[in-house]
Amino acid sequence: MNSTVPYVHRDFSTHTLENVSVPYENINLFTQDKVLQESVRAFGADHVCDQLTEFGGIVGQADYLALGDQANRFRPEFAPHDRYGRRIDLVSFHPAYHHLMQTAMTYGLHSLPWETKTKGAHVHRAALCHLHTQVEAGHGCPVTMTFAGVAALRHTPSLASTWIPKVLSRSYDPRNVHWSDKSGLTLGMAMTEKQGGSDVRSNSTRAFPTASPGSGQPYELVGHKFFVSAPMCDAFLMLAQAPGGLSCFLVPRWWDVDHKNPMELVRLKDKMGNVSNASSEVELRGALGWMVGEEGRGVATILEMVALTRFDCMVGSTAGMHMAVQQAIHHAAHRRAFGALLIDQPMMQNVLIDLALEREAALWLSMRMANALDQSGSESERLLARIAVAIGKYWICKRTPQHAYEAMECIGGSGVMENSMMPRLYREAPINAIWEGSGNVQCLDVLRALHKSPQTLDVLHQEIAKAKGSHPELDALLKTGFSQFKNLAVEDAAFEGRRWVDRMAVALQCSLMFQYAPEQAAQTFCDSRLNMDVAHQYGSLKRETPIAFLLKRYRVDGIS
Ligand SMILES: Cc1cc2nc3c(=O)[nH]c(=O)nc-3n(C[C@H](O)[C@H](O)[C@H](O)COP(=O)(O)OP(=O)(O)OC[C@H]3O[C@@H](n4cnc5c(N)ncnc54)[C@H](O)[C@@H]3O)c2cc1C
């Protein structure tokens, strides 16, 4: 029998691998980002650029970026009991998640502005968060809650003196033990119940004083919470109905060194995104909590925390936008179609520049708010942060999902694959818009701020007016738009409020672009966004766009 294989062709290669991109990695996420560098310098944190350069170099490495993928691919797991049946309420995370937490806490992403009165601490922290969130967003949840929780805790001296020093520790200690045995602590937040999330006044969890009532005193909490993210935190700022009304409590995970506090996890939520971060449902069976702030003033107390978590939502969504558009620009610079690189094709240039402009404006707004927080001793800066964080949280988070989708489309089919970062960025995109106050609730909060202190609108007007004379439509808004908004009847504002908050958001971004960005970027952004009667779609810039200048501004060189 003839054993020769009857092949005619001896070359079995199926194709030549060509015209494919390379991963966006091994880059310095700080030094490649001109806009971030400019914003850090503009808002008084020049002195931290060396540290940000070091940090940007670490987090842009391929093996560090891979932590983001691993932390999401291997989801947290929940064990209610140990093998003998003892209640442990343990959530286990992949080592990649712990690595991300460790870095965040080592660099003080949870603590910087509380540790030091150094100039620009909020700007410094926001820049670090912007860099780290590009790697992974989910771990940012406990980091931001720990940071923001201090704002609420510090008003109750007996709790502040025992908890805050350990909360500000740069040590990450994930062990499931009593807080007194740990070198560093994290904080969570529990407001939402089944019957109401936005409307926390509907909370049904009850709190009973164990001895004398009042601020700093222990209470027993009975009820449930429908959303408790990062349930491995060491304590939670929680709302419950005390005899004197809805109040805020600090509820530790452990009662004493030998006993868990009876705050029992029911299950982990099966979320569409943000999956590295565990979110849970809990039942409180007499869990011990200490009152934070005054009895009956729970909403006001916890809002001190929420104001800062909302600020972090702006920073986080801006970071997501940046990673998405950089992935798109990078891909377009390595992929050819119809005889030319995608990045050289005019319609693709329009989309990429437009996406990058959106992120640039989001960053200037976020960093200006960090700058306002740094100057919160000034009444006008405090009022500006009060109204413009609400506006920015609403607007930036709202603009992110479409941005993520459009960036994904620039990459084509490979952008849909789970082994790229794009599906994760896409699934992450709507989440910041929903938690910590969904869109309508944010806009109602803007109206509430205006109603309670009308000076907030004057402060916003002053900030936007710093760019007066830069653009006719901005001038028109300053001249007539503000007074129309101010004089809106209550029932009209209740229906139309969102339209007006949209306008204020865009006007503020335009003004900041004229104040801080190059003229070409500001002009292009404003020309495409200020006519609010036409909904802006990414990729709809006009022919006058200074393409070469803007592409150079946003393009990362040096990856081959
Ligand atoms: C991933 C994730 C993690 C979370 N983690 C936590 C956590 O750790 N702790 C915690 O306490 N909560 C957490 N939440 C809950 C979150 O804060 C709430 O889902 C959110 O506040 C909305 O509340 P809700 O789901 O009850 O919706 P609802 O309050 O029922 O709101 C539904 C919709 O109605 C709108 N709406 C509400 N009131 C009005 C009004 N007056 N006029 C017009 N529109 C209105 C809202 O904007 C929203 O779009 C988390 C949520 C998510 C998605």
Q: What are 291's strand-pairing partners?
A: 249
Cα(124) to ligand 1 centroid in Å equals 30
Question: Do 490 and 517 share a domain, yes or no?
Answer: yes
Taking each continuous run of H as one helix and of E as one strand, the counts in the chain are 20, 13
In contact, 230 and 141? CB cutoff 8 Å: yes
Question: Do 345 and 455 share a domain, yes or no?
Answer: yes
Cα(543) to ligand 1 centroid in Å equals 41
Q: Of all atoms in ligand 1, which is nearest to the CA of residue 190?
A: 11
Residue 248: phi and psi, rounded to 5, are: -105, 140
Q: Sign (positive/negative) of CA torsion 206, 211, 217, 220? A: negative
User: Can you read off the two tokens belonging to residue 378?
Assistant: 């000034």
Total number of domains in the chain: 3
Q: Pick the residue whose CA is nearest to atom 17 on ligand 1.
A: 435
Cα(199) to ligand 1 centroid in Å equals 8
> Letter for the amino acid at 64?
Y
Of the three residues 277, 296, 315, the one that is the final residue of a domain is 296
Task: Name the nearest CA neighbour of 189 among 231, 240, 157.
Answer: 231
- Report which DSSP code applies to 193: B
C-alpha pair distances (Å), 355 with each of 349, 362, 426: 10, 11, 14
Residue 531 counted as domain residue: yes
Q: Pick the residue whose CA is nearest to atom 48 on ligand 1.
A: 438
Termini Cα distance of the chain: 53
Q: What is the full DSSP assignment across 259-303?
A: EE-SEEEEEE---SS-TTS-EEEEEEEEEEEEEESSTT-HHHHHH
Residue 221 counted as domain residue: yes
> For residues 340 and 345, what is the distance between their CA atoms, to the nearest angstrom?
7
Residue of 91, 198, 263 to test ligand 1 pocket, by largest number of atoms within 8 Å of CB? 198
Question: Do 289 and 363 share a domain, yes or no?
Answer: no
Cα(37) to ligand 1 centroid in Å equals 34
Question: Do 223 and 368 share a domain, yes or no?
Answer: no
Residue of 434, 442, 448, 498 to test ligand 1 pocket, by largest number of atoms within 8 Å of CB? 434
In contact, 187 and 145? CB cutoff 8 Å: yes
In contact, 383 and 455? CB cutoff 8 Å: yes
* Beta-strand relationship, 206-209 and 263-268: unpaired
Q: How many CA atoms are closer than 13 Å to the CA of 228, on its beta-carbon side?
A: 27
Residue 24 counted as domain residue: no
Residue 108 counted as domain residue: yes
Residue 54's domain comprises 34-162
Residue 203 counted as domain residue: yes
What global pTM score does this model have?
0.97
Question: Do 287 and 327 share a domain, yes or no?
Answer: no
> For residues 348 and 346, what is the distance between their CA atoms, to the nearest angstrom?
5
Q: Of all atoms in ligand 1, which is nearest to the CA of residue 188?
A: 8
Residue 432 counted as domain residue: yes
Residue 483 counted as domain residue: yes
Residue of 224, 438, 442, 499 to test ligand 1 pocket, by largest number of atoms within 8 Å of CB? 438
Question: Do 200 and 323 share a domain, yes or no?
Answer: no
In contact, 273 and 264? CB cutoff 8 Å: no
Of the three residues 266, 296, 326, the one that is the final residue of a domain is 296
**Residue 372: CATH number of its domain:** 1.20.140.10
Q: Pick the residue whose CA is nearest to atom 23 on ligand 1.
A: 197
Q: Of all atoms in ligand 1, which is nearest to the CA of residue 277?
A: 1
User: Can you read off the two tokens belonging to residue 249?
Assistant: 């409590």
The reported pLDDT for the residue numbered 486 is 86
Cα(437) to ligand 1 centroid in Å equals 6
The reported pLDDT for the residue numbered 11 is 80
Question: Do 366 and 493 share a domain, yes or no?
Answer: yes
Residue 236: phi and psi, rounded to 5, are: -130, 135
Q: Report the 3 state secondary structure along 103-126.
A: HHHHCCCCCHHHHCCCCCHHHHHH
Q: Of all atoms in ligand 1, which is nearest to the CA of residue 228?
A: 8
Q: Pick the residue whose CA is nearest to atom 2 on ligand 1.
A: 435
Q: Pick the residue whose CA is nearest to atom 1 on ligand 1.
A: 431
Question: Do 525 and 455 share a domain, yes or no?
Answer: yes
**Residue 207: CATH number of its domain:** 2.40.110.20
- pLDDT tens across the length of the chain (560 residues): 556 667 777 788 899 999 999 999 999 999 999 999 999 999 999 999 999 999 999 999 999 999 999 999 999 999 999 999 999 999 999 999 999 999 999 999 999 999 977 899 999 999 999 999 999 999 999 999 999 999 999 989 999 999 999 999 999 999 999 999 999 999 999 999 999 999 999 999 999 999 999 999 999 999 999 999 999 999 999 999 999 999 999 999 999 999 999 999 999 999 999 999 999 999 999 999 999 999 999 999 999 999 999 999 999 999 999 999 999 999 999 999 999 999 999 999 999 999 999 999 999 999 999 999 999 999 999 999 999 999 999 999 999 999 999 999 999 999 999 999 999 999 999 999 999 999 999 999 999 999 999 999 999 999 999 999 999 999 999 999 888 988 888 889 999 999 999 999 999 999 999 999 999 999 999 999 998 667 789 999 999 999 999 999 999 775 55
The reported pLDDT for the residue numbered 558 is 58
Question: Do 508 and 367 share a domain, yes or no?
Answer: yes
Q: Pick the residue whose CA is nearest to atom 45 on ligand 1.
A: 440
Question: Do 93 and 209 share a domain, yes or no?
Answer: no
Question: Do 232 and 315 share a domain, yes or no?
Answer: no
Residue 57 counted as domain residue: yes
Pocket lining for ligand 1, CB < 6 angstroms: 189-192, 196-199, 227-229, 271, 274, 279, 431, 434-436, 438-441, 444
* Beta-strand relationship, 340-341 and 336-337: antiparallel
Question: Do 185 and 158 share a domain, yes or no?
Answer: no
Of the three residues 162, 196, 219, the one that is the final residue of a domain is 162
- Report which DSSP code applies to 258: T
